[in-house]
Amino acid sequence: MKHSLALLSLCLLFSAPAYGSDINIYADKQVEVHQNEQKLVAIGNAVASKDDNTIHADELSAFYEKNKQGKTVFKTLHAKGNVKAVSPTTTAYGNTMDYDLNAEEIILIGTPAKIVSQKGETITAEERIIYYPDQQIAIATGNVVAKDAENTVYSDKMISYFKKNAAGDLEMDEVKIYDNVKIVTPEAIATSDRGTYYPNQGKVHLFDNVIINQDGNIITGDHAETDLNTGVSRMLSSSSGKRVSGVFKEKKDNNKDKDKNKVKNSAKTTDPKPAASAPQTSTTAPQAAEPAPAVEPLVPLNTAQPLPSFNPTPVSNPALPSFGAAAFQQENLTNVQ
């Protein structure tokens, strides 16, 4: 992650001394020169250019003075309204930009102030971005977000330090990150109170109340390292002696879950017939059979003996007995269930 490119390009925008090359100012509408105030005002798509760098704004104003050689030298430059500062490698956006050549200070203010590199890297700050060319320090404040294609760094404040390399070119050496630090990579999210970014290594060291969350696995400690080239974060030993602790989430086996679902679905669609139950065998010993009742022998019928004669006596019609209510007493009745 090369955040250095975006900030470095802004720093180079006016890092050269004012007398090293001329600053040209022009505008579409008008350019006013106030000799008594030694002030120049450009209105309407105003442009200030210096070498390969330009500043565009709705209005530009600059104060100047004469040096000992009688040459006009700009002291301050103020741009306001739709400010856009363009260099060969980056573009900065804001509401206002102030460049104090005597104090060696450039202040970019916007909602937010924003810097975009040719590679799509961005830095935004809701308050301001300040660069001190003489000290080679840049400070971004107010919900600062530095972002590239894969990684994002959040903090309340970033201080960038620059130095010249062996070839004499200015490059970013390190970045101090303060307050509400959060680094988001494709592999993990790490938070801390503060940190230090080393652009040449592509690594960020995090300090104090460090929390690394990777796929639900959480590790806490006081010192961690995030490699922005690989996205890997790891906890390191701390001089405070505080132990590293972690909460690890068991990873699910998707193949096992699929197999379980197949078995469940198979059980739902199949209607197996119940298996025939095996005949039960009695463990009780068989009882002895009861003896059959005795049968009296039949008396043989002597068909040779004549049958007795039967003379029926005529029966008169006797009166049928009367049945009164008393004949049906409750106790003589039998309930039939």
Whole-angstrom distance, CA of residue 223 vs CA of residue 235: 6
Average pLDDT, 10 consecutive residues per value, the chain (337 residues): 45 45 85 91 93 92 88 90 90 94 90 88 93 88 91 93 82 90 90 92 91 89 88 76 57 59 57 53 53 52 47 44 39 42
Which 8-state DSSP code applies to residue 211? E
- Cα–Cα distances (Å) from 53 to 13, 47, 136, in that order, read 6, 10, 18
pTM reported for the whole predicted model = 0.66
The answer for residues whose C-beta is within 8 angstroms of residue 6's C-beta and 6 or more apart is 90, 115, 116, 117, 121, 122, 123, 146
Whole-angstrom distance, CA of residue 199 vs CA of residue 228: 10
Instruction: Decide: 28 and 5 in contact? Cβ < 8 Å.
Output: no
* pLDDT computed for residue 260 by the predictor: 59
CATH number of 3-150: 2.60.450.10
Instruction: Decide: 229 and 152 in contact? Cβ < 8 Å.
Output: no
Whole-angstrom distance, CA of residue 94 vs CA of residue 82: 7
Domain ranges for the chain, please list them: 3-150
* pLDDT computed for residue 82 by the predictor: 96
Parallel, antiparallel or unpaired: strands 24-26 and 170-184: unpaired
Longest CA pairwise span in the chain (Å): 185
Q: Over the range 174-190, which residues count as b (16 or more CB within 10 Å of their CB) and which as e?
A: bbebeeebbbbbebbbb
Whole-angstrom distance, CA of residue 274 vs CA of residue 264: 19
Instruction: Decide: 104 and 129 in contact? Cβ < 8 Å.
Output: no
Q: Over the range 73-105, which residues count as b (16 or more CB within 10 Å of their CB) and which as e?
A: bbebbbbbeebebbbeebbbbbbbbbbebeebb
Whole-angstrom distance, CA of residue 40 vs CA of residue 34: 6
- Cα–Cα distances (Å) from 34 to 63, 78, 324, in that order, read 9, 15, 151
Q: Over the range 126-160, which residues count as b (16 or more CB within 10 Å of their CB) and which as e?
A: bbbbbbbbeebebbbbeebbbbbeebebbbbbbeb
